[in-house]
Amino acid sequence: MQKNKGAEPVKKKITIGIPRAMLYYRYEVLWKNFFSILGADCVISEPTNKEIIKSGTAAAIDEACLCTKIYLGHVKSLIGKCDYILIPRISNFGIKRNMCTKFEALYDIACNTFRKTSQKFLTYNVDVIEDCPEEKAFIEMGIELGFSKKEALNAYKEAKKGETESLKNHLKANESLYKKNGLKILIVAHSYVAMDSYIGKPVTDFLKKLGTVPIMADVVDRKDALKRSAKVSPTLKWELSRELVGSIDEHIDKIDGMVLMSAFPCGPDSMVDEMIIRKFRGKPILNITLDDQDGTAGLETRLESFVDILRFKGGTL
Ligand code: SF4
């Protein structure tokens, strides 16, 4: 395991900065619980705004995807406000269960980008193929922070229980949306795109304003979705994309249409979206790519036309 840059055993109460971007939307409960059980405070960056996007774009290379730029903006906004900024390094959860390479690289990118500051960064490495599952990674991170193996393990187990409970409740609430009246639109997007207050959330908010029911595809029974996605495409290897594809497969008969929402320029999504369009025929699909535009201004007409098509198909226009 690579050592955390600047991490050293500590006894005093520590503050962990967590960027409100990327995997925050997947691991929020696990991270907050883990650090709180260990007695640490968490400070979360503000929801994405224009300033965060601007500073992240200035810090990133031009070719980086919009989500990486946003992420670096969040990291920058936390500098000097905490003892450590948490940036996990997540490679895979096993064979054909890879994460996009950005999730392996973000810690090193951030350490390098902000190397002239005195900010300390904290990571944990999940690489099941190399025998480093999540539990082991959290124990190592806890030890690096000065806690015993037992303390770190207990904190992880408790935090995991909280995460499981939260996922269960979230899933139950999401599943109830499929039974609601109105046009149901499946939002096929990574959570850090769909939930981001500046890029994805305005899209779902606008769809709600149009009287439709947007439903997040990524809120799904993950194990079940992985099995389903393997039937749709045995070669698809990105974990988060597989969950989305499995979710479409499970819910296709309960929805009226889909919005595929990607951040520019996303390598995995450019291939997966194409595959989704070919494999799931019969339901209208709107494919949108988000850039650092101001909200949904340029998208509203496309969203309105898409909803009109769905209404026309459903005989309500
Ligand atoms: S999956 Fe796409 S949007 Fe997400 S980090 Fe990778 S390149 Fe960026």
Who contacts 10 (Cβ-Cβ below 8 Å, separation ≥6)?
83, 145, 146
Ligand 1, residue 241: give the atom nearest the CA: 1
Ligand 1, residue 265: give the atom nearest the CA: 7
Ligand 1, residue 103: give the atom nearest the CA: 5
Place of tokens 């883990």: 34
Is the pLDDT at 80 greater than 80? The verdict is: yes
Is the pLDDT at 6 greater than 80? The verdict is: no
Distance CA 153, CA 163 (A): 15
For residue range 191-221, list pLDDT tens digits in order: 999 999 999 999 999 999 999 999 999 999 9
Ligand 1 centroid to Cα of residue 315, in Å, is 37
For atom 6 of ligand 1, the residue with the nearest CA is 100
Task: Give residue 278's pLDDT band: very low, low, confident or very high (50, 70, 90).
Answer: very high
For residue range 165-194, list pLDDT tens digits in order: 999 999 999 999 999 999 999 999 999 999
Q: For 301, phi and psi rounded to 5 degrees?
A: -65, -40
Q: What is the pTM of this model?
A: 0.94
Structure tokens given for 247: 């979710």
Q: 50-64, 171-185, 186-200, 294-308: which has the minimum mean pLDDT?
A: 294-308
Who lines ligand 1 at CB under 6 A? 65, 67-68, 100, 102, 190, 263, 266-269
Share of the chain above pLDDT 70, in %: 94
Q: What is the DSSP letter of 238?
A: B
Place of tokens 């809120």: 219
Ligand 1 centroid to Cα of residue 67, in Å, is 7
For atom 3 of ligand 1, the residue with the nearest CA is 266
Task: Give residue 291's pLDDT band: very low, low, confident or very high (50, 70, 90).
Answer: confident
For the segment 85-103, the average pLDDT, to the nearest whole number, is 97
Query: Which pLDDT score is estimated for 314?
Result: 77
Ligand 1 centroid to Cα of residue 98, in Å, is 12
Query: Which pLDDT score is estimated for 298?
Result: 76
Average pLDDT, the chain: 94
Ligand 1 centroid to Cα of residue 101, in Å, is 8
- Beta-sheet strand order (sheet of 285-290): 213-216, 184-188, 257-263, 285-290
Distance CA 134, CA 142 (A): 12
Distance CA 168, CA 65 (A): 31
In this structure, is the dihedral angle defined by the CA atoms of residues 212, 214, 215 and 217, taken in order, positive or negative? Answer: positive
Is the pLDDT at 233 greater than 50? The verdict is: yes
Ligand 1, residue 193: give the atom nearest the CA: 3
The residue count of the chain comes to 317
The one-letter amino acid code at 304 reads E
Distance CA 178, CA 174 (A): 8
Ligand 1 centroid to Cα of residue 230, in Å, is 21
Ligand 1 centroid to Cα of residue 314, in Å, is 34
For the segment 4-14, the average pLDDT, to the nearest whole number, is 63
Ligand 1, residue 100: give the atom nearest the CA: 6
Q: What is the DSSP letter of 48?
A: P
The one-letter amino acid code at 188 reads V
According to DSSP, the β-strands at 184-188 and 257-263 are: parallel
Query: Which pLDDT score is estimated for 316?
Result: 65
Ligand 1 centroid to Cα of residue 195, in Å, is 14
Paired strand residues for 127:
92, 132
Ligand 1, residue 263: give the atom nearest the CA: 3
Distance CA 163, CA 161 (A): 5
Task: Give residue 100's pLDDT band: very low, low, confident or very high (50, 70, 90).
Answer: very high
Who contacts 237 (Cβ-Cβ below 8 Å, separation ≥6)?
96, 97, 98
Nearest CA to 170 among 209, 218, 213, 99?
A: 218
Taking the CA atoms of residue 276, residue 282, residue 283 and residue 288 in that order, the dihedral angle to the nearest 10 degrees is 40
Who contacts 2 (Cβ-Cβ below 8 Å, separation ≥6)?
89, 123, 125
Q: For 20, phi and psi rounded to 5 degrees?
A: -80, 70
List, in order of start, the domains of the chain with CATH numbers: 2-166 (3.40.50), 178-314 (3.40.50.11900)
